[in-house]
C-alpha cells in the first residue's frame, strides 16, 4: 500500500475508533477529560508540526490557540454580523493568515532565539488580551453564548462531553492526517530539507522563507482550530488560555510524544492527561513529577515516546 | 517624576543582576537558562527562611550559597552531560527544571504570598523633592551597582575572570591552552545561579514572594539579554536600565500599550540585529 493510502487507512481506522471509545467510556468526568485532552492534543499537534517540519521549538503557541478561541467567541457574540458557520472557519483562517505574515519575519530567527522570541510574543498576546477590555473582556474573560444550532447540530452537542469528545476526536484525526499527508508531499520534503540545511536548500535554488512561513501558518491554523473547539466546549475564554504555561504544557505534550512523527504529539497529549489524572489522585505534586519526566525523556529518549519502537528495533537489530 | 525614574532604576537594577547571571551562563554553556526565573524565586524563598532565623543579611548570604551549590550541581549533572547535544535539548531540560522548582517551592512554602522585611538599617524613607522614597529602594540600586562592579572587576582583573572571558570567546582554544574549561563553566554556572538567588532576596522586601514571581521576570530578563546581546554584560546592563525606565514610565505615560513595548522591542531587535545591540550571534 502506498504511503498516502496507509495514512488514509490509518485515519479512517482512528476515526472509527472515536465512536467506539465514546460508547465504552461512561459519560462523566473521564469522557469530559478525554474531550479536553483531544482539544489540547490539537494544540500539541500544531506545536509538533512546527518542530517536525521547521525544526522550531515554540514557547508561544497558546497565543494562536487563544486567538482562535477569542475570534470565534467574538464572532459568535455578534450573530447579526456573521452566521456561526462562517465565523468559526473565518477565525481559523484569520489566525493562519496573520501567522503567515508573521512567519515571513519570524522564521528568519533560529534555535534558542526563536524559542525566546515566541515566549515574548506569546506574553505580548497575553498582555494584550488582559488590556483590551473592550474586545476581550479583560481579565474577566469572554463568556460566549452559542446560537441554537451550528452546522445543523444543537448547541448542547458542543457543550456536552459526549458530543465534544467525538467532534474533537474527529477534528484531531483529520488535522493529523492532513499534517501527515503534507509531510510526505513535495512541500513537506522541501521543508525538511530546509530544516536540515537551509543554506544547501538555497543553493539548490529553493526559496526558504516562504515554505517555512507556510508551515508556521499551517501550525497557527491548527492551533486556532483547537482554540475554536475550546471556546465551543467551554463557552468561555480568558487570558489564562493565552498564558505561557499553556504554551509550555503543549510543548511538553509534543516533546513527550516526540516530534519526529506526526502522531507523536497526540500520544504525548494522551500520556500527559492520563498521567495527570492518575497523579492528581495520589499527590498534588504532579507538575513537578511531569517536569522530571520531561527532563528524563529529553535526556534519554530525545525522539520522545513515539521514537521508542524505532529505538528498540534498532537495538534489537544490532544484537542480532 | 523623579520618583518614577528612580522606581524604574530600582527595577532596572534588579533586572541587571538577574540578567548578568543569565548572560554569564550563556557565555560559557551556550544555553539560555529557562529556569533562571525559578532560580530567582527559589533564592527568594531560601533567603526568606534564612532571614527568619538570622535576619536579612543572613538570608542574602544563605541564598547565594544554596543557589551556587544548586548551580554547580546543575552544571555537573546536566549542562556538562548535554554539552554535545543540540542546545535546544538543554534549554528544554532547564524548562523542565523550572516546573520542578516551582512545584517544589509550592510544596515547601505553600502557595500563599509571603512578605519579607527590609533590614532595620534600611527601613524607613527619605524625602526626595517633597516625596517620600523608601531607603531600601535606594539600597537596591546601590547593591546592584556594587555587585556589577565586583563582577566586572573579577572578570577583568582576576586570573579566573580571564579564563572565563577566554572560554566564552573560544572554549576549544582555551582548553588547548591548559585551562580546565569544564571547571570554569561550573564556576560560572554556580555564580550565575547565585546572582539569581541574590536578586530574589533583594527583590523580596519590595516585590512580594509568590511561586509565580519567576515567570514574569524571566520574560523581562530575556528581553534584556536579547536586546543587550547575549553574553555581553555591558549591553545587558544598558538594556536592563532602559527596560526599567520603559516599564515604569510607560505605565504612567502610555498605560494601554506599555506592557507590549518590551516584547515588541525584543522582536524588533532579534529581527533587525540578531546579535543584539552589542553582542554575539546566537
Residue from A116, A258, A272 to probe the interface with B (highest B Cβ count within 10 Å): A116
CATH number of this structure's domain B2-272, picked from the four choices 3.10.450, 1.10.3470, 1.10.287, 1.10.10: 1.10.3470
| More confident call, A134 vs A41 | A41
Task: Answer whether residue A150 shows pLDDT above 90.
Answer: no
Q: How many Cβ atoms from other residues are within 10 Å of residue B169's Cβ? A: 12
DSSP code for B230: T
Tell whether B150 is within 8 A of chain A (Cβ): no
Query: Residue A305: inside a domain, yes or no?
Result: no
Task: Answer whether residue A135 shows pLDDT above 50.
Answer: yes
pLDDT in tens, B12-37: 999 999 999 998 898 888 888 999 99
Query: Which pLDDT score, from 0 to 100, does residue B282 have?
Result: 39
Task: Answer whether residue A171 shows pLDDT above 90.
Answer: yes
Residue ranges of the domains in chain B?
A: 2-272
DSSP code for B209: B
Q: How many Cβ atoms from other residues are within 10 Å of residue A26's Cβ? A: 8
Query: Which pLDDT score, from 0 to 100, does residue B259 have?
Result: 76
Query: Residue A309: inside a domain, yes or no?
Result: no
Q: Which residues of A301-318 are buried (b: 16+ CB within 10 A; e: fewer)?
A: bbbbbbbeeeeeeeeeee
Contact between A68 and A92 under an 8 Å Cβ cutoff? The reply is yes
Query: Which residue has cell 528581553?
Result: B223
Q: Between chains, do B260 and A127 touch, taking CB under 8 Å as contact?
A: yes
Contact between A112 and B32 under an 8 Å Cβ cutoff? The reply is yes
Record the pTM. Answer: 0.89
| Rounded Cα distance, A176 and A173, in Å | 5
| Rounded Cα distance, A152 and A211, in Å | 37
**What does the mean pLDDT of chain B come to?**
87
Q: How many CB pairs under 8 A join A and B?
A: 112
Q: Between chains, do B103 and A128 touch, taking CB under 8 Å as contact?
A: no
Low-confidence ranges of chain B (pLDDT < 70): 231, 274-282
Which of B238-242's residues contact partners 24+ apart within 8 Å by CB, and which partners?
B238/B277, B238/B278, B239/B19, B239/B276, B239/B277, B240/B12, B240/B13, B240/B15, B240/B16, B240/B19, B241/B9, B241/B12, B241/B13, B241/B16, B242/B12
Task: Answer whether residue A33 shows pLDDT above 70.
Answer: yes
Report the percentage of chain A scoring pLDDT > 90. Answer: 48
Query: Which pLDDT score, from 0 to 100, does residue B87 have?
Result: 83
DSSP string, B73-139: HHIIIIITTTTTS-HHHHHHHHHHHHHHHHHHHHHHH-SS-B--PPPGGG-SEEEETTEEEEHHHHH
**Chain A residues within an 8 Å CB radius of B100:** 288, 291-292, 295
Query: Residue A313: inside a domain, yes or no?
Result: no
Task: Answer whether residue A315 shows pLDDT above 80.
Answer: no
Query: Which pLDDT score, from 0 to 100, does residue A319 have?
Result: 53
| More confident call, A315 vs A68 | A68
- Structural domains of chain A, count: 1
Q: Between chains, do A120 and B222 touch, taking CB under 8 Å as contact?
A: yes
Contact between B26 and A116 under an 8 Å Cβ cutoff? The reply is no
Query: Residue A25: inside a domain, yes or no?
Result: yes
| Rounded Cα distance, A160 and A27, in Å | 9
The boundaries of the domain holding residue A105 are 3-246
Q: pLDDT category, A71, cuts 50, 70, 90?
A: very high
Amino acid at each position: 500500500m502506498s504511503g498516502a493510502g496507509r495514512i488514509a487507512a490509518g485515519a479512517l481506522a482512528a476515526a472509527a475508533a472515536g465512536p467506539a471509545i465514546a460508547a465504552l467510556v461512561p459519560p462523566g468526568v473521564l469522557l469530559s477529560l478525554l474531550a479536553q485532552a483531544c482539544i489540547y492534543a490539537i494544540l500539541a499537534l500544531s506545536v509538533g508540526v512546527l518542530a517536525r517540519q521547521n525544526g522550531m521549538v515554540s514557547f508561544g503557541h497558546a497565543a494562536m490557540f487563544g486567538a482562535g478561541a477569542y475570534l470565534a467567541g467574538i464572532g459568535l457574540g455578534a450573530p447579526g454580523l456573521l452566521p456561526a458557520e462562517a465565523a468559526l472557519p473565518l477565525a481559523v483562517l484569520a489566525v493562519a493568515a496573520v501567522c503567515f505574515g508573521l512567519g515571513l519575519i519570524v522564521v528568519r530567527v533560529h534555535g534558542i532565539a526563536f524559542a525566546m522570541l515566541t515566549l515574548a510574543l506569546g506574553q505580548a498576546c497575553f498582555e494584550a488580551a488582559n488590556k483590551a477590555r473592550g474586545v476581550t473582556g479583560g481579565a474577566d474573560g469572554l463568556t460566549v453564548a452559542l446560537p441554537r444550532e451550528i452546522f445543523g447540530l444543537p448547541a448542547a452537542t458542543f457543550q456536552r462531553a459526549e458530543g465534544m469528545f467525538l467532534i474533537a476526536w474527529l477534528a484531531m484525526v483529520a488535522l493529523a492526517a492532513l499534517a501527515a499527508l503534507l509531510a510526505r508531499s513535495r512541500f513537506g520534503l522541501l521543508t525538511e530539507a530546509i530544516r536540515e540545511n537551509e543554506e544547501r536548500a538555497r543553493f539548490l535554488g529553493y526559496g526558504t522563507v516562504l515554505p517555512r512561513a507556510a508551515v508556521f501558518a499551517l501550525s497557527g491554523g491548527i492551533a486556532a482550530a483547537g482554540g475554536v473547539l475550546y471556546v465551543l466546549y467551554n463557552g468561555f475564554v480568558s487570558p489564562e488560555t493565552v498564558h505561557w504555561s499553556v504554551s509550555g504544557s503543549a510543548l511538553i505534550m509534543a516533546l513527550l510524544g516526540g516530534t519526529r512523527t506526526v502522531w507523536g504529539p497526540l500520544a504525548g497529549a494522551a500520556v500527559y492527561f492520563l498521567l495527570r489524572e492518575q497523579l492528581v489522585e495520589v499527590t498534588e505534586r504532579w507538575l513537578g513529577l511531569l517536569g522530571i519526566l520531561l527532563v528524563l525523556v529529553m535526556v534519554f529518549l530525545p525522539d520522545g515516546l513515539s521514537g521508542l519502537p524505532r529505538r528498540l528495533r534498532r537495538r534489537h537489530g544490532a544484537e542480532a | 517624576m523623579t520618583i518614577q525614574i528612580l522606581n524604574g532604576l530600582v527595577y532596572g537594577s534588579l533586572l541587571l543582576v538577574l540578567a548578568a547571571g543569565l548572560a554569564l551562563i550563556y557565555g560559557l554553556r551556550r544555553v539560555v537558562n529557562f529556569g533562571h526565573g525559578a532560580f530567582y524565586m527559589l533564592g527568594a524563598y531560601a533567603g526568606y527562611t534564612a532571614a527568619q532565623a538570622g535576619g536579612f543579611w543572613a538570608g542574602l548570604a544563605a541564598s547565594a550559597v544554596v543557589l551556587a551549590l544548586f548551580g554547580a550541581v546543575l552544571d555537573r549533572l546536566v549542562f556538562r552531560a548535554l554539552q554535545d547535544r543540540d542546545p535546544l535539548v538543554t534549554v528544554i531540560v532547564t524548562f523542565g527544571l523550572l516546573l520542578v522548582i516551582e512545584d517544589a517551592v509550592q510544596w515547601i512554602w505553600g502557595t500563599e504570598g509571603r512578605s519579607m522585611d527590609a533590614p532595620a538599617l534600611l527601613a524607613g524613607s527619605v524625602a526626595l523633592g517633597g516625596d517620600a522614597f523608601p531607603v531600601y529602594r535606594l539600597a537596591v540600586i546601590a547593591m546592584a551597582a556594587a555587585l556589577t562592579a565586583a563582577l566586572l572587576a573579577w572578570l577583568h582583573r582576576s586570573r579566573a575572570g580571564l579564563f572565563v572571558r577566554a572560554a566564552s570567546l573560544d572554549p576549544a582554544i582555551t582548553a588547548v591552552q591548559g585551562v580546565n574549561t569544564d571547571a570554569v563553566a561550573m564556576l560560572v554556572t554556580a555564580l550565575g545561579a547565585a546572582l539569581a538567588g541574590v536578586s530574589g532576596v533583594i527583590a523580596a522586601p519590595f516585590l512580594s514572594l509568590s511561586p509565580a514571581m519567576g515567570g514574569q521576570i524571566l520574560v523581562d530578563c530575556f528581553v534584556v539579554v536579547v536586546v543587550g546581546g547575549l553574553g555581553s554584560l555591558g549591553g545587558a546592563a544598558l538594556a536592563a536600565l532602559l527596560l526599567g525606565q520603559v516599564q515604569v514610565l510607560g505605565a504612567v505615560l502610555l498605560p494601554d500599550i506599555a506592557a507590549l513595548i518590551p516584547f515588541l522591542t525584543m522582536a524588533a531587535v532579534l529581527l533587525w540585529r540578531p546579535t543584539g545591540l552589542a553582542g554575539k550571534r546566537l
